[in-house]
Amino acid sequence: MLSDTLHEVLQRLENAARDAARPVPRLLAVSKTQAATAVAELAAAGQRAFGENYVQEALAKQKSLNDDALEWHLIGHLQSNKAAIAATAFDWVQTLDREKLVPLLATARATSRPPLNVLIQVNIDDETSKHGCRPDDVPALAGAIVAQPRLALRGLMAIPAPDPDLQRRRIAFRRMRSLFDDLAGQHPQVDTLSMGMSDDHAIAIEEGATMVRVGTGLFGRRERRESEMGNQAKPQTS
Ligand SMILES: *Cc1c(COP(=O)(O)O)cnc(C)c1O
């Protein structure tokens, strides 16, 4: 039962936070490649926040679920030509990593809705990755975001390199927490540090994550591989 797994994961987050003397982080359920029925099952068990990597996949699930109480987070790379639709389809965009996206998201966010919550994605340790801004670029990007009333700067997000050496991931998480503390010092509304996934969320919590993103740990193994997902989705999605 997915509801049992959800309660086990929430219990693990609580235990990790207690052991580390940190606040309990929010759980983002990463539902990419999972069926809408699985999302509905978790929603019925009380889970509200869901993360998707592709705009079109998220839209399809939202349509079949038709549940206004759910909160949708974009956690996949955002292409400029998908910014306008992302600003409509999501409550949070966690992958804002370049200034060009700022006006595109802001102008597309309807004034009838609350401002779009955004996290700046930081490329904390992976020089080969094309995604995420450099740590040095965070203050300027944050300044551009807070100048837009249709956007709400909430914090930072990172996907450290999947290093089998968990101590190296810990160092990346620690650097993120320090960047996050600097940013929160500049912008008091900043309250979210999104880091840690199924296999490393305990370390991320120790280092001060306020939101962890768990996919396989909740839903089990993804049916389709992400590479297949990406190829399949390429013509119409981000
Ligand atoms: C898929 C994904 C996750 C979840 O990964 P799991 O290892 O399945 O928990 C978290 N964050 C991002 C950005 C992802 O793409």
Q: DSSP letters of 106-148?
A: HHHS-TTSPPEEEEEEB--S-TT---SB-GGGHHHHHHHHHT-
CA of 120 from ligand 1 middle (Å) equals 17
**What confidence score (pLDDT) does residue 233 get?**
37
**Residue 68 CB neighbours (<10 A):** 7
Calculate the average pLDDT of the chain: 93
**What confidence score (pLDDT) does residue 85 get?**
98
CA of 196 from ligand 1 middle (Å) equals 9
**Of ligand 1's atoms, which has the minimum distance to the CA of residue 95?**
13
- 229 assigned to some structural domain: no
CA of 51 from ligand 1 middle (Å) equals 9
* Calpha distance 11→123 (Å, rounded): 30
- 235 assigned to some structural domain: no
**Of ligand 1's atoms, which has the minimum distance to the CA of residue 218?**
9
- 237 assigned to some structural domain: no
Domain span holding position 140:
2-220
**What confidence score (pLDDT) does residue 129 get?**
82
Whether residue 183 is predicted with pLDDT greater than 60 in this model: the reply is yes
**Of ligand 1's atoms, which has the minimum distance to the CA of residue 216?**
8
- 208 assigned to some structural domain: yes
- 52 assigned to some structural domain: yes
Which band of pLDDT confidence, cut at 50, 70 and 90, is reported for residue 62? very high
**Residue 230 CB neighbours (<10 A):** 16
- 196 assigned to some structural domain: yes
* Calpha distance 77→97 (Å, rounded): 9
- 84 assigned to some structural domain: yes
Q: Which ranges of the chain would DSSP assign to H, the alpha helix?
A: 2-20, 36-44, 55-65, 83-89, 101-108, 138-146, 166-186, 201-206, 216-219, 226-233
CA of 88 from ligand 1 middle (Å) equals 22
Whether residue 202 is predicted with pLDDT greater than 70 in this model: the reply is yes
- 233 assigned to some structural domain: no
Exposed, middle or buried: residue 227 (CB in 10 Å: 0-12, 13-18, 19+)?
exposed
CA of 147 from ligand 1 middle (Å) equals 30
Helix (H, G, I), strand (E, B), or coil: what is residue 52?
strand
Whole-prediction pTM: 0.93
**What confidence score (pLDDT) does residue 57 get?**
97
Where is average pLDDT lowest: 10-19, 42-51, 156-165? 156-165
Q: Which residue type occupies 158?
A: A
**Of ligand 1's atoms, which has the minimum distance to the CA of residue 32?**
1
Whether residue 154 is predicted with pLDDT greater than 80 in this model: the reply is yes
**What confidence score (pLDDT) does residue 226 get?**
53
Which band of pLDDT confidence, cut at 50, 70 and 90, is reported for residue 127? confident
Where is average pLDDT lowest: 102-111, 122-131, 183-192, 216-225? 216-225
Whether residue 128 is predicted with pLDDT greater than 90 in this model: the reply is no
Q: In terms of Cα–Cα distance, which of 188, 196, 115, 191 is closest to 152?
A: 115
The domain that holds 103 is classified in CATH as 3.20.20.10
Instruction: Name which residue sits closest to atom 13 of ligand 1, judged by CA.
Output: 75
Instruction: Name which residue sits closest to atom 14 of ligand 1, judged by CA.
Output: 75
Stretch 194-223: mean pLDDT = 95
- Domains held by the chain: number: 1
Which band of pLDDT confidence, cut at 50, 70 and 90, is reported for residue 232? very low
